[in-house]
Amino acid sequence: MKLITLLAAGLAGTAGAASAQTEIHWWHAMSGHLGEVVEEIAARYNDSQDEYTLIPTYKGGYEDTMTAGIAAFRAGEQPNLIQIFDAGAATIINAPGATIPVADLMAEHGDGFDPTDYIEGVRYFYADSDGKMIGMPFNSSTPLLYYNKDALAEAGFDAPPSTWEEFEEMAPAIKEAGYEALAQSHSPWIFAENFHSRHNIQMATENNGYDSTDVEILYNNPDLKMHWTKVKEWLDNGWYGFYGREWGDNQDAFVQKKAAMWLGSSGSFGGLQASADFEFGAAYLPYWTSITEEPYGTFIGGAALFTLSGKSDEENAGVADFLDFLTSPDMQYYWHKETGYVPITSAAYELAKSDGYYETTPDAEIGILQLTQPGGEWTKGYRLGYYVQIREVMYKEFDNIFSGQSSVDEAFEAIESESNDLLERFNATYQ
Amino acid sequence: MKRVQFEHSPIPYLFVAPQIIIILVFFIWPAAQAVYQSFLLEDAWGLSSQFVWFKNYVDTIGSSSWLQAAGFTIIFSTLVTFLSLSIALLLAVKANEVIHGASTYKTLLMWAYAIAPPVAGLMGNLMFSPLIGDLYKFMNFIGFDFDHKLDPFDAGFVVVLISVWKQVSVNFIFFLSGLQGIPKSVNEAAVMDCRSPTRRFWTITFPLLAPTTFFLMVINITYAFFETFGIIDTTTRGAPGGATNTLVFKVFQDGFRGADIGGSSAQSVVLMLMVLALTVIQFRFIERKIHY
């Protein structure tokens, strides 16, 4: 509490500057190259019109940005627009009155809002149970398999595995060639959440949590446990490299040619191009043919932009104007090309195609193709409260599986019971 | 009996006012807020809240992850306090005896004093990186099957090592000045009765250092409880399997990452009470044995 109050006091000083144009404050979590692209988008927007001034501010990682936004909101000094990540979506969407749904905002101030303009994979994730869009998808990514072409060639393969069964057949030869076959960043995201989407398996009761906060998690299921039993085997066989829970440490293992393949985000594409000194390719996230004959599309990851309430109509109109600009095909194409995040509208995707972008860089299309693979009942997304903590529980128990401290059964029982305790708390808080 | 009455002047109150205000604003008020929040279930945005008595305490403190963090915090704090005090004392005694190049030794030993815990953590993290870390490679080279990303003991070793390393030089400075404050004549007189330097140390020097040791013990326990947050956050972040999660890091994770304000407040109130109890115990039972 002490820090929240201090933080809010500090923010009060920065948010009040006045100018002739209406200022729109946008807090985001994009650092490095991504942050530069955000600055560039803001600069282009400010040049494109003279009614509003958009001021983007970097607030740290996803969690830091959300915490800063919460502290500011409690102090009445909130920004107009804030970037909130997938795991935090329930925290803002379930607090009625914290945010103005983007569908309402655009209907009131913009040219209206048509969800069918957006590609299928991103249409529902930040929507409510009726399909009304609450947050505007911004940086949307999806898990992909990256592979070192030289390493696979050394092991005698010219293509990456498309299923986990194929992976198991290839792994011994890759190990023989002197590589760990696979490393991965963010196991809860790829080996839990997207595992369910990829195989069209229900993740939580109440329509994956969209219909109610009174929900129970269904992670303790035989398919996911089978997968983790296999992952533990891969680790013990030396096919799977584990470099801790940090995203970058596992990506580094791939960049430094310790691991021949790496599961990361479609948004990692630009970063890999800059850091890897070998030829690599991107491929779809593998699936188990023992669970499903044909794979289903994955969830989007990343974050969305939420309009915080309590601002003047004039400023809200500015936010709507900016979101219009941001979702224009030109800007989406620019964002897609610079970062590797997927374009969120069909029009932007068509523009990228007609511009010949995927002919020169076919790997850049893999993410969006995967998102538009056939959807099933359980591929829309999930809405679970205190999901940040639930991911912590998963990280913890996955460690225990790897170290052998817990069996797969024990670990998933712990995940189930601790997650349900957290969901029960969330439900009691946000009723 | 006639009581003497003095004229009351407001000036003394004026002089202590800044200090009182600082304590009120930066300690009492936030602490009261935390106590208040710990009885509420409130959504993160502060839009709805309900009074729930001790639900937050029961929910969070009864959870297995809190108990695990509490267990580790106790072991960790004991180890960090004991090791950083004893190593610093040994170094200070030895440096105090050095005649040639004494200031070089002393300067080198104080070197790490100004390093902030997160910086120490970052350096440690690099040295123990499985990909590029020299210490990681060294540990495996000398025959340990060292993997702090998976082994709870190895991870504990890493955070204790970094925490102790960072704190030794702080303790060293205090011990050294404490040693220099002991009159030479006392030790010279003791030489007459006792020839063993070890025995002289434990019977003469150590008791005379007691006020310094006591002060450092209080400081070090607080350090191990709270300030090592920066080290945990930049190295293990509680992994593997929550084995190196400390109570203060869990408060941060639940409150500042997970937006569970009630639960995190309840945890911080418990933490506050624990440290308060510890300090009371120290002053009541240990300080009595100390002669200033």
pLDDT above 60 (res A12) = no
**CA nearest to B119, candidates B162, B160, B171:** B162
Contact A1 B265 (CB under 8 A): yes
- Interface residue B140 vs chain A (CB under 8 A): no
Cα Rg, chain B, nearest whole Å: 24
Contact B149 A242 (CB under 8 A): yes
The confidence band for B279, taking pLDDT boundaries of 50, 70 and 90, is confident
A8-22, A128-142, A288-302, B25-39: the lowest-pLDDT one: A8-22
**CA nearest to A201, candidates A295, A326, A76:** A295
Looking at the DSSP bridge assignments, the partners of residue A265 are A143
pLDDT score of B106: 83
CB count within 10 Å of CB B5 equals 6
For B246-272, write each residue's pLDDT tens digit. Answer: 999 999 999 999 999 999 999 999 999
The confidence band for A193, taking pLDDT boundaries of 50, 70 and 90, is very high
Residue A208 in contact with residue A378, Cβ under 8 Å? yes
What mean pLDDT value characterizes chain A? 92
- Interface residue B63 vs chain A (CB under 8 A): yes
Contact B149 A5 (CB under 8 A): no
Tell me the C-alpha distance between A422 and A400, whole Å.
20
Contact A67 B259 (CB under 8 A): yes
pLDDT above 90 (res A340) = no
Q: Which residue has the higher pLDDT, B183 or A287?
A: A287
Q: Which domains does chain B have, with CATH numbers?
A: 11-51 (no CATH), 57-289 (1.10.3720.10)
What is the three-class DSSP state of A55?
Answer: strand
Residue A343 in contact with residue A349, Cβ under 8 Å? yes
- Interface residue B125 vs chain A (CB under 8 A): no
For A354-364, write each residue's pLDDT tens digit. Answer: 999 999 989 99
pLDDT score of B100: 81
pLDDT above 90 (res A218) = yes
Alpha carbon of B270: minimum distance to chain A alpha carbons (Å): 14
- Amino acid making up residue B82: F
Contact B131 A258 (CB under 8 A): yes
CB-closest option in A95, A395, A396 to B44: A95
pLDDT score of B168: 94
Interface-testing mutation among A392, A400, A408, A419, with chain B (most B C-beta atoms within 10 A): A392
For A57-99, write each residue's pLDDT tens digit. Answer: 999 999 999 999 999 999 999 999 999 999 999 999 999 899 9
Tell me the C-alpha distance between A211 and B167, whole Å.
52
For B207-241, write each residue's pLDDT tens digit. Answer: 999 999 999 999 999 999 999 999 999 999 998 99
pLDDT above 70 (res A11) = no
For B104-120, write each residue's pLDDT tens digit. Answer: 888 888 888 888 999 99
Interface-testing mutation among B25, B136, B256, B271, with chain A (most A C-beta atoms within 10 A): B256
- Interface residue B64 vs chain A (CB under 8 A): yes
Residues 6+ apart with CB under 8 A from B266: B38, B56, B57, B59, B60, B61
CB-closest option in A95, A253, A388 to B43: A95
Tell me the C-alpha distance between A145 and A142, whole Å.
10
The confidence band for B290, taking pLDDT boundaries of 50, 70 and 90, is confident
- What number is the average pLDDT over the span B184-202? 87
- Interface residue B121 vs chain A (CB under 8 A): no
pLDDT above 50 (res A15) = no
pLDDT above 80 (res B1) = no
What mean pLDDT value characterizes chain B? 91
Share of chain B above pLDDT 90, in %: 67
- What number is the average pLDDT over the span B45-62? 92
Tell me the C-alpha distance between A184 and B98, whole Å.
53
Contact A95 B48 (CB under 8 A): yes
- Interface residue B46 vs chain A (CB under 8 A): yes
Residues 6+ apart with CB under 8 A from B292: B211
CB-closest option in A73, A388, A393 to B45: A73
The confidence band for A114, taking pLDDT boundaries of 50, 70 and 90, is confident
Contact B239 A421 (CB under 8 A): no
Q: Which residue has the higher pLDDT, B47 or B113?
A: B47
In the 3-class helix/strand/coil scheme, how is chain A assigned residue by residue?
CHHHHHHHHHHHHHCCCCCCCEEEEEEECCCHHHHHHHHHHHHHHHHHCCCEEEEEEECCCHHHHHHHHHHHHHCCCCCCEEEEEHHHHHHHHCCCCCEECHHHHHHHHCCCCCHHHECHHHHCCCECCCCCECCEEEEEECEEEEEEHHHHHHCCCCCCCCEHHHHHHHHHHHHHCCCEEEEECCHHHHHHHHHHHHCCCCCEHHHHCCCCCCCCECCCCHHHHHHHHHHHHHHHHCCEECCCCCHHHHHHHHHCCCEEEEEEEHHHHHHHHHHCCCCEEEECCCECCCCCCCCCCCCCEEEEEEEECCCCHHHHHHHHHHHHHHCCHHHHHHHHHHHCCCCCEHHHHHHHHHCCHHHHCHHHHHHHHHHCCCCCCCCCCCCCCCHHHHHHHHHHHHHHHHHCCCCHHHHHHHHHHHHHHHHHHHHHHCC
- What number is the average pLDDT over the span A410-420? 96
Q: Which residues of A touch B258 (CB under 8 A)?
A: 386, 388-389, 392
Interface-testing mutation among B257, B271, B272, with chain A (most A C-beta atoms within 10 A): B257
Tell me the C-alpha distance between B6 and A14, whole Å.
50
Angle among Cα A94, A342, A107 to the nearest 5 degrees reads 50
The confidence band for B3, taking pLDDT boundaries of 50, 70 and 90, is low
pLDDT above 50 (res A1) = no
- What number is the average pLDDT over the span A162-175? 97
- What number is the average pLDDT over the span B194-200? 88
Alpha carbon of A19: minimum distance to chain B alpha carbons (Å): 28
CB-closest option in A94, A98, A388 to B258: A388
Contact A249 B130 (CB under 8 A): yes
**CA nearest to A228, candidates A10, A12, A413, A33:** A413
Contact A95 B262 (CB under 8 A): no
pLDDT above 90 (res A144) = yes
Residues 6+ apart with CB under 8 A from A377: A200, A202
Q: Which residues of B touch A428 (CB under 8 A)?
A: 41, 52, 55
Alpha carbon of A222: minimum distance to chain B alpha carbons (Å): 22
Alpha carbon of B81: minimum distance to chain A alpha carbons (Å): 27
**CA nearest to A244, candidates A290, A301, A190, A186:** A186
